[in-house]
Amino acid sequence: GAVVSQHPSRVICKSGTSVKIECRSLDFQATTMFWYRQFPKKSLMLMATSNEGSKATYEQGVEKDKFLINHASLTLSTLTVTSAHPEDSSFYICSAANRKAWDTQYFGPGTRLTVL
């Protein structure tokens, strides 16, 4: 299958700072990327869908000013957690698809964010 990477794999930051997480599709062009959030031992919750070159579509309850998503190229999407708080601590996972089909998503390895 296709390879998707995330960077960093782990990050610890102080409250009030911003953190950027990168999601890269290494061997295919990702027209659509998805960002998920996962709490310990729980399922994945979709945060937003981003299509290359356009604004992200956020799920209900997700603050778009808090979680800034940029999908500037067909191989890179970024999630920036602004003014981070301890409750933002979580496991963030991205996935990428090279066509607008939900069943062709390739998942990244995730990023563990800890906000002190």
Phi-psi domain of 87 (left: phi exceeds 0; alpha: psi -120 through 50; beta: other)? alpha
Q: Any contact of residue 53 with other proteins (CB under 8 A)?
A: no
Q: Any contact of residue 8 with other proteins (CB under 8 A)?
A: no
Of the candidate residues 46, 55, 72, 73, the single one contacting other proteins (CB under 8 A): 46
Nearer to other proteins, 74 or 82 (CB): 74
Q: Any contact of residue 42 with other proteins (CB under 8 A)?
A: yes
**Torsion, CA 34, CA 26, CA 105, CA 96, rounded to 10:** 20
Q: Any contact of residue 4 with other proteins (CB under 8 A)?
A: yes
Q: Burial level of 99, CB count in 10 A (0-12/13-18/19+)?
A: exposed
Instruction: Report DSSP letters for 35-66, one per residue.
Output: EEEE-TTS-EEEEEEEETTS--EEPTT--TTT
Of the candidate residues 110, 113, 114, 116, the single one contacting other proteins (CB under 8 A): 110
Q: Any contact of residue 44 with other proteins (CB under 8 A)?
A: yes
Q: Any contact of residue 109 with other proteins (CB under 8 A)?
A: yes
Binding site for other proteins (CB under 8 A): 1, 4, 32, 34, 41-46, 49, 91, 93, 95, 97, 100-103, 105, 107-110, 112
